[in-house]
Chain A
Amino acid sequence: MKKAEPLFLLVLRVAMAALLLFSAWVKLKPEVVGGEGVAPQPSGPFVFALAVSSYEILPSSLVPLATFAVPWVEVVVAVALLVGWWTRGAGLLAAVLLATFTAAVVSVILRGMNLSCGCFGKYKLLCDGSVGWCKVGENLVLLSMAWVLAGRGGGMLELRRSA
């Protein structure tokens, strides 16, 4: 069991990195410019900004920064996890992000709002795109994965061992 742990941690961190990169891509993808008779599609930031503002948690002045900060932090965390550089710090930050998202989702549920979460765009992981207790459970699973990485490090093939 002890021998399998480094491999388990490697799989965990690659999975977490892939998930974060995908989530970031959905939020950062550029606008699809329409052509002759073909409709354009709004950019990821445009759609994510609407999702962020619909949560009614941040003041509107902070929405543009949050719109870009969330996915870019996800990208940097994902790269750190992928290459195994400061894995524990990256895992801790992923856990903080997920705890923040979970708190936001719970706040929306408690206020009785009916929103789509804006997490993975049209794609879904375990739950559909709407905010609900399923999403809280999904986030808690991801948060526990991140917490394991924060506590145990990245296992095999780390570029630089964490503290």
Chain B
Amino acid sequence: MSAKVYVQAGVIAAVGVAIAVVDSTRRPVKTPEPMASPDRSVGGQGATNGTSSQGDPKPAPGEAPKAAPVPESTPPEKTGGQAGGGAGGASVKVAVADPSALPVKIGVGEALSMLEDHQAVFIDGRKADVFAAGHIPGAFHMQFVDITDGNAPWQEFFRTMNRDDWFVVYCDGGDCHESEHIRKALTNYGFSKVLILEVGFPGWKSAGLSVDTR
């Protein structure tokens, strides 16, 4: 291959990058504002913010905690007196007095508390088949691709959800990026109170908490 071909390739690349620089300054990619709380992990069980009594969270002013307004969802199952808690609910629950004090990535304990106290709407970002096989009770099913493609779950979410509500997103945990992508997309559209259940559904299930298949 002659040197001329390499020069041609270099010139074409340079033109493309030059256009890219212009375009990127013309319409910079909006990156979501970081949440007030630090982005640190609290691990699977969670061990923070356990100051208030369970079951009586104090909402922030003007922000009324309410049950997840998901039309198709069912209320959390009650097992042994622990709504949504299942067998291991009592041992892992970590009371959450003020969700805004939590880090972005929360553990099972905080998630359980927020579910039982109706402090957040849970969003399951996994594929439809695994969602149908089992999900956190009352979770709203919406994948990242639903947002990017304007699919029905995103339309319903946008129509029915309140930007002042708290949301907890989860996927398969570990290296799953769906939750982070959904959080960034939601933040981009003004739903800024979005937390991530870091261990995802596998962590929830392995903690022995109740699972809904409806």
Contacts and interface: CB of A to CB of B under 8 A. Distances in A.
A54 B171 CA distance: 15
B148 A68 contact: no
Of B9, B19, B189, most A-chain CB atoms within 10 Å: B9
B147 A73 contact: no
A80 B19 CA distance: 15
Given A46-B188, A65-B20, A92-B1, A114 B9 contact: no
A163 to B, nearest CB: 3
B150 interface: yes
B16 A41 contact: no
Interface stretch (A2-10, A11-19, A30-38, A135-143): A30-38
B30 A54 contact: no
A122 B155 CA distance: 17
Interface residues of B, number: 46
B146 to A, nearest CB: 9
A98 interface: no
A64 B9 contact: no
Given A38-B155, A39-B154, A42-B188, A89 B5 contact: yes
Interface in B19-47: 19-21, 23-24, 27-31
B12 interface: yes
Contact of A122 (B2, B19, B20, B149): B149
A151 B1 CA distance: 7
A72 interface: yes
B33 to A, nearest CB: 14
Nearest to B3: A163
Contacts of A112: 175
B175 A89 contact: no
Given A32-B150, A40-B189, A74-B16, 7 more contacts: A39-B147, A39-B158, A46-B185, A49-B31, A50-B177, A114-B172, A150-B1
Interface of A: 28, 30, 32, 34, 37-43, 45-47, 49-50, 54, 64-65, 67-69, 71-77, 80, 86, 88-90, 92-93, 96, 112-115, 121-122, 150-151, 162-163
Interface of B: 1-2, 4-13, 15-17, 19-21, 23-24, 27-31, 145, 147-150, 154-155, 157-159, 172, 174-177, 180-181, 184-185, 188-189
13 contacts: A38-B158, A39-B150, A39-B157, A40-B158, A50-B180, A73-B13, A75-B16, A76-B15, A86-B12, A89-B7, A96-B9, A121-B148, A122-B148
